[in-house]
Structure formats: C-alpha cells, structure tokens
Amino acid sequence: MNRRTLVLSCFLLILLTSLCISFLVKIVPELLLSNLNVQRSGSSNTTSNEHGSNSSNMTSNEHDSNSSNMTSNEHGSNSSNTISNTAPKNYNKTLGFEHIYVINLAHRRDRHFKMGGIEDILELNFEFFPAVSINDSEILDKYDFDIAPNHKSCYVSHYRVYESIVRNGYNSSLILEDDIDVEMNILSIMTDVHRILPTDWEMLYIGHCSWEKDGKFIGDARSFQLYESTYPVCTHAYAVSLSGAKKLLNGLLNPSLPVDLEIGEKIKQGNIKSYSLEPSAIVQWKSKDNPSDVSPGAKQWTYPLKKSTLHYFGFHEINDQD
C-alpha cells in the first residue's frame, strides 16, 4: 500500500468515525429523554390511581363506584335515572361546588382565624361573607321580618347569601357558618357524595343537628350515608343549587320561625328537594368559651368527628376572643 492510499484510508476512517459520533450525540439523548418521559407518565398514572390526585378519580379505587350503585339498587333507588355518577371536575378547592361562603361577624376575629386555618390546611377557597349583627339596624330595617332580633340577624345573614348566589349566578354553593369543625378527609367524602347525589337536588345538608335517617336512603359515601331530608335543623353547613337559592328567596319572605326551622318546614312540605348526610361530616364546635351569637347559653347538639381538623392541628386549644 503506497503512502497516498494509506492517507486516504485514514481520512475516510476519521470521517466515518466523526459521522458515527455525531449520530450518537443526536439520537441517544432523544432516546433517553423519550424513555424518561414514558417512565414519568407511568409513575404519574400510578400515583393518580393510588392516591387520587384528581378529584374525579380520587375514590374510584378506594371506594368502587359500582359498590355505591349496587347499594343504591339494593335499597330500591334507580341509579341509572336519578343518580349523578360523576363528581364535578376541577372543584377540589370548593368541595365540588362552584363557590364556598363563610358567614362571619366582623368582631369575631377568633373564628375568622380558625376558619382561615381550616381553609389553608384543607387547601380550600373561602369567601368570608359579612354576617349581619343584631346592631346593624340600617341593614335589618330593609327586611320586614317579624321575628326576635337575634334570630332576625341570623335570618338576614343567610338571606343575603342567597341574594349573592342568585346575583352571581352560582349553580351550586356551600354555605358555612364560622363555628364549624370538619372531617380531615372531607374532600374524599364529598367526592363520593357527588357520585350518588341525585341531579334534582336543591339543598344538601353536610352538617345538621337532627336525625335524618328516616328519609329515603340514597347511597353510601365511604362511612357516611345520604338520605332524603325529612326536617333538617341548623344551618352551619349546607349547600344550595341556584334553583334552591331562588326558592329560598321567595319562600322565606314572611318568617315566623328562626331560619333553620323555616327552611325545615319548606323541606317537610316538599317545596324544596333536599338531602342530608348521616352522620354529619361538618359539625359545630360550641363550648362555654365559644357561645352562640344567636342563642347564647343554648344547649348545643354535638357529633363526634372521626378525625377533627381543628383538634388534629391544635386549633381547638386557641382561646376565643370576646
């Protein structure tokens, strides 16, 4: 082999090697990145199935929706016609509703603080709605409600929330008073509730102070049950649809009873389609240090929570302010 041939062979070898290296530098990273994305996608799907990060899928593995349908069928309900099996999506921060109101008196900063703690811990979105004080004569005088002053202020506070719902056109709203405690897994509970909640609902009591198991059984939501409401009492945690809010505005114009009893009468008479959760997943935390602003000294109905949000994070130990 002469010198010229040797030089040409070396040049071709170097050129071929360079092309191979360029190919590998371009292709190998793309293959590695593609493989990594596949692994991440698989991991994300696995996590979603195991932990339920998406509210619509959250309980499909832990609490088979077919089980809820089977239970409903066993109790005689027609799930295919009356039950909504899909919870609203992307509403984790509002527990499946379009909006959450918290009725709070301006001077009860202690309650605002605790409700803010619940909001942060459970990653929810609250609108703190100004409650009407017994001394707010300018507002109270606008409503011709002939009931005791302390009950009238509570009545008007809730009535103004209904006005806000209709004015804003919220299709569904959760109304909370500022003296509540909540189950730690309330999001999981409500995801199951939305799966079995009939589509014709106008009110939904997540918390109440009455015995609601005499109503028609609708279905199971984890360790809770949903019934048609009979005569729910208390207004510390309930949801209303837009049509329900309109009915409340028209039906509560001439009260003779406190607001919760007036609503209870409308439900008992069949004027409002309402459902109640048993036991309550949201309760009141009244105590001698945290008296009711509406009925001071009244004996409070209490339900023990399975896992209290306030107790778990120590908020119950914070003294209330006068």
**Do 147 and 211 lie in a common domain?**
yes
Residues 98 and 208 in one domain: yes
Q: Say yes or no: 16 and 164 in one domain.
A: no
**31 lies in the same domain as 177:** no
- Specify if 7 maps to a domain: yes
Q: Are residues 18 and 159 in the same domain?
A: no
> Which amino acid would we find at residue 13?
L
The whole-number mean pLDDT for each consecutive block of 10 residues of the chain, a chain of 322 residues, reads: 65 70 51 40 40 39 39 37 42 93 95 94 96 92 89 96 98 97 96 96 96 93 95 97 98 94 97 97 72 47 78 67 43
DSSP string over 161-215: HHHHHHHHT-SEEEEEESSEEEBTTHHHHHHHHHHHSBTT-SEEEEE-SS--TTS
Claim to verify: residue 177 and residue 270 sit in the same structural domain:
yes
> Rounded to whole angstroms, how far apart are CA atoms 208 and 199?
21
* Residue 100 belongs to domain with CATH number: 3.90.550
Residue 126's pLDDT is 97
Residues 4, 29 within the same domain: yes
Same domain, 43 and 69: no
Provide the number of structural domains found in the chain. Answer: 2
Sign of CA dihedral 273, 129, 146, 234: positive
Q: Within a domain: residue 57?
A: no
Q: Tell me if 176 is assigned to some domain.
A: yes
State the pLDDT at residue 6: 67
**Does residue 12 sit in the same domain as residue 138?**
no
Domain that holds residue 269: 65-317
Asked, for residue 70, whether it belongs to a domain, the answer is yes
322 domain residue, yes or no: no
Of the chain, the end-to-end C-alpha distance in Å amounts to 105
Angle (CA) 15-19-25 rounded to 5° is: 145
Q: Residue by residue, what is the 3-state secondary structure of 296-313?
A: CCCCCCCCCCCCEHHHHC
